[in-house]
Amino acid sequence: MMMNSTQVSYFVLSAYFDTRMLKYFIFLVLMCLYTVIIGCNVVLIVVICVNRSLHEPMYLFLCSLFVNELYGSTGLFPFLLIQILSDVHTVSAPLCFLQVFCIHSYVTVEFFNLAVMSYDRYVAICHPLRYNVLMSRRKLSGLIAASWLPPVLLVVIMISLSFSLQLCGNIINKVYCDNYSVVKLACSDTTVNNIYGLISTAFSVFVPVGFILYTYMRILKVCFSGSKQTRQKAVSTCTPHLASLLNFCVSCVFEIIQSRFQLSAAPPTLRIVLSLYFLTCQPLFNPLMYGLKLSKIRVTTDKRSKQFH
């Protein structure tokens, strides 16, 4: 029997398995991880916001990145913690689509944020004398807006297309809701969804990554022809960004492998870890990487911690 997604009252998350008393240990571990993620990102956001010396494009872009990490992890962890303690792993249709929106917009905003950060590094290294002109306050505001508004619009259109599908079931073989899992339940024509999915993926992933690669080609060209000081500056400022990009791309590949391919032979725990990696590791990786690597943030954080002791 066909049923429109607006008539589906709930979805069943079938990837959960019985962990008996171990579920309390898993709950505690994830709660600690979520607390660390919240703490690290909030501390760096506060440090950047309250220190006028850090009101520079690079740090404001980092602030936008940390806000997105909070947003993405909050779209997952509270829901995940409740499901772990629950005996019946179901989610209402509205909450499921809300989580789809949060997770997909988080991923898209992450790529866009990394793209505008690469442009900032390109201007700082390749055009240092014109940096303040090219990265004016107005342009800075426009870039931050561009890293948030188009991704949100893309995801809203994607969800509206998925919401109008006729569904033949309500069982999602994951521990959270995602758009691909919902579309797989459709018994109506999904051609428009598939075409839009390819277009939105190209625009939200391949375009930002392609732009990042282009900026780093220009940066490498300047480094090879520049002084030792220029090369050291490029390494110190670009290493965290490249590490973040590589980590996020690898984690997205893990998610694609877990979602698109049948991994029935793999242990359930491994499948869950693969699907959660990009939503748990990146929000923890970025603040630790930038907080430790960027000396100005580290020095400011140290000074503020001394004031409290």
pLDDT, position 140: 93
Stretches in the chain below the pLDDT threshold 70: 1-7, 226, 260-266, 293-309
pLDDT, position 276: 83
What is the residue type of 72? Answer: G
pLDDT, position 295: 60
Domain boundaries defined on the chain: 11-308
pLDDT, position 233: 72
pLDDT, position 6: 47
pLDDT, position 266: 65
pLDDT in tens, 140-157: 999 999 999 999 999 999
Mutual angle of helices 77-85 and 22-50, in 10-degree steps? 160
Q: Could you report how far apart the first and last alpha carbons of the chain are, in Å?
A: 66
Identify the CATH number of the domain defined by range 11-308. 1.20.1070.10
pLDDT in tens, 157-171: 999 999 888 888 889
Nearest CA-CA partner of 41 in 291, 298, 217: 291
pLDDT, position 304: 54
Nearest CA-CA partner of 19 in 124, 141, 175, 131: 175
Task: For 234, list phi and psi in degrees, rounded to 5.
Answer: -65, -45
Q: Which residues sit opposite 3 in a β-bridge?
A: 167
pLDDT, position 309: 46
